[in-house]
Structure 1
Amino acid sequence: MSLVEVALLLVAGVAAGTINTIVGSGTLITFPTLLVIGFPPVVANVSNSLGLVAGGISGAWGYRHEIAGLRPMVIRLVPVSVTGAIVGALLLLWLPPAAFEAVVPVLILLAVGLVILGPWVQRRAARRPAGDVANIRWPLVAAGVLFAGTYGGYFGAAQGVIVLGVLGLLVPIGIQAANGIKNLLGMLVNLVSATVFLVVQPAAIDWRVVLVIAAGSLCGGLIGARIGRRLPPWALRAVVVGVGLVAVTYFVS
């Protein structure tokens, strides 16, 4: 990569780490950037997932207080999310690259749609104060989290929005607590899927990309956790939607 490409990817990593912590869907920034630079889609997706682990760690750490009292719920959801991540990562590695290239525009459009619906989901969650979680319909919650983990292990973009949607609709907790759980599960999905890639197909990883995105997303995660709630969400969503639509155009052109 040239210095200009490294700088561009570093900035994209910071933006993705910030957006992932606040909203989710930061992959819609880094993944199209890698495609524009010239990386093959599967290599771009795998390397991006591994690089974004750093941002997930810093973002999850920044929201540790929001989920401090929700340990029983987190313990229930982590194994489900990890299982989905393993399934999604294996699907990505076992299916032919042509299948991924064919489905990526659809996945990006799905992610964009979820980002657009995000404000409605968050408003719904915000109206539901924290309460007794004993009567939660866990099979439905687990199914939604499993789908999000599988989706995240395969592609990644907007998996956090899916988790927010599931929690906002089915679990009586506030939006900040839901966002904290989303950050933790998203980090685990990226970490587990990256581990699968390392074990099964290490050749699919470009370590230059991993290091640059990791450096940027680590800073972005800290930024998102610290000041993210002061930023206008509509502006971040507009950027994500715009980048996603450009990526779809790139694929179908």
Structure 2
Amino acid sequence: MTPTDLGIVGALGVFAGVVNSLVGSATLVTFPVLLSLGVPPVVANVSNNIGLVPGSAVGAWGYRRELAGQGGRVLRWGAIAALGSLVGAVTLLALPPAAFEAVVPALVLLGVVLVAAGPPLSRRVAGRGRRTGEREPRWLRPAIGVTGVYGGYFGAAQGVMLIGVLGVGYSPDLQRVNAMKNALAAAINGVAGVLFALVADVEWRVAGLLALGSAVGGLLGSSVGRRLPPPLLRAAVVAVGLAAFVSILVT
């Protein structure tokens, strides 16, 4: 890669950190750009995953106020997401991409629908919880696990999917949901990243520059995102999710 290419990768990392901390789905931009720079698909995928781990972690730290008192949930749901991520990462290394990519458009579209319908559905879930004494719907943990599988395999739009799932089953407060999303995304990317670093073919210059840039972008994005009105943030999530859906269909 030329110095110009490496500069593009570094700037791409900053962009990815901002987008992932706000919405998720930066992989839909970073992955195609890496391909255009001549990085082989699987190498681009694993290098991108490793490079985005610091951005997810910094984004979660930036939302630490919204996560106050949620340590138990972060640990429980993070463990489930991490286990799913491990399954997805192993699947990526063992099977051809077409086996899972076939269902990606449907999963992304489902995430967008969940984000758009989140507030009324969340109120219904909360009301049911008060009537039955449940703190969370039974489907929530399996859904987090499935999202973890997807994130470990590819990860594009995993943030949209997590926001959709958490917006229905966790809280109608999008800032609170976004904070939890960042924490779970850090667990998903982190576990997959460790596995990829140990056994996969990684372009370490790409991964390193993405990591540095995404850490800066994650801090910037979390600072901006915490100040956005919930309707505006929700509209951004839906817009990025729809763009992700269209992008996947045409590629």
Q: Same fold (TM over 0.5)?
A: yes
Note the 1:27-106 alignment, pairs <5 A. 27-95=27-95, 99-100=96-97, 103-104=100-101
> Is the CA contact 1:47–1:210 (under 8 Å) kept in the aligned structure 2?
yes
Q: Give the letter aligned to residue 134 of structure 2.
A: N
Structure 1, 63-72 or 184-193: larger mean CA deviation: 63-72
> Is the CA contact 1:47–1:206 (under 8 Å) kept in the aligned structure 2?
yes
Separation in structure 1 between the aligned mates of residue 13 and residue 81 of structure 2, nearest angstrom: 24
- C-alpha distance after superposition, 1:104-151 (max 9, x if no partner): 4752x3465356436514544786899988613453111000001000
Deviation of residue 7 (structure 1)? 2.4
Instruction: Name the SS of the counterpart of 1:25 in structure 2.
Output: coil
> Is the CA contact 2:157–2:244 (under 8 Å) kept in the aligned structure 1?
no
- C-alpha distance after superposition, 1:146-172 (max 9, x if no partner): 001000000111112222112211224
Q: Which runs of 5+ in 1 are unaligned?
A: none
Residue 113 of structure 1, aligned match among 92, 109, 113: 109
- C-alpha distance after superposition, 1:187-244 (max 9, x if no partner): 1111100111123x24x21101101111211111011101124495456765675576
Aligned twin of 1:183 = 182
Instruction: Name the SS of the counterpart of 2:139 in structure 1.
Output: helix
Q: Is 1:165 aligned to 2:161, yes or no?
A: no
Aligned twin of 2:196 = 197
Q: 1:59 to 1:121 in 2, by over 3 A?
A: farther
Q: Give the letter aligned to residue 50 of structure 1.
A: I
Aligned length: 244
Q: Give the letter aligned to residue 196 of structure 1.
A: L
Q: Give the letter aligned to residue 146 of structure 1.
A: G
Q: Which runs of 5+ in 2 are unaligned?
A: none
Over aligned residue pairs, what C-alpha RMSD do you find?
2.9
Structure 1, 15-24 or 131-140: larger mean CA deviation: 131-140
Structure 1, 7-16 or 223-232: larger mean CA deviation: 223-232
Identity %: 39
Q: 1:126 to 1:22 in 2, by over 3 A?
A: farther
> Is the CA contact 2:52–2:214 (under 8 Å) kept in the aligned structure 1?
yes
Q: 1:172 to 1:226 in 2, by over 3 A?
A: closer
> Is the CA contact 2:116–2:238 (under 8 Å) kept in the aligned structure 1?
no
> Is the CA contact 2:171–2:177 (under 8 Å) kept in the aligned structure 1?
no
Aligned twin of 2:11 = 11
Separation in structure 2 between the aligned mates of residue 117 and residue 179 of structure 1, nearest angstrom: 16
> Is the CA contact 1:114–1:162 (under 8 Å) kept in the aligned structure 2?
yes
Q: 1:93 to 1:171 in 2, by over 3 A?
A: same
> Is the CA contact 1:10–1:215 (under 8 Å) kept in the aligned structure 2?
yes
Q: 1:62 to 1:122 in 2, by over 3 A?
A: farther
Q: 1:6 to 1:162 in 2, by over 3 A?
A: same
Q: Give the letter aligned to residue 214 of structure 1.
A: A
TM-score (norm 1): 0.83
> Is the CA contact 2:108–2:161 (under 8 Å) kept in the aligned structure 1?
no
Instruction: Name the SS of the counterpart of 1:68 in structure 2.
Output: coil
Separation in structure 1 between the aligned mates of residue 156 and residue 69 of structure 2, nearest angstrom: 28
In the TM superposition, structure 1's runs of 4+ consecutive aligned residues that sit over 3 Å from their partners are 101-106, 109-112, 114-119, 121-134, 229-249
Q: Give the letter aligned to residue 18 of structure 1.
A: V
> Is the CA contact 1:129–1:173 (under 8 Å) kept in the aligned structure 2?
no
Q: Give the letter aligned to residue 164 of structure 1.
A: I
Q: Give the letter aligned to residue 178 of structure 2.
A: N
Instruction: Name the SS of the counterpart of 1:139 in structure 2.
Output: coil
TM-score (norm 2): 0.84
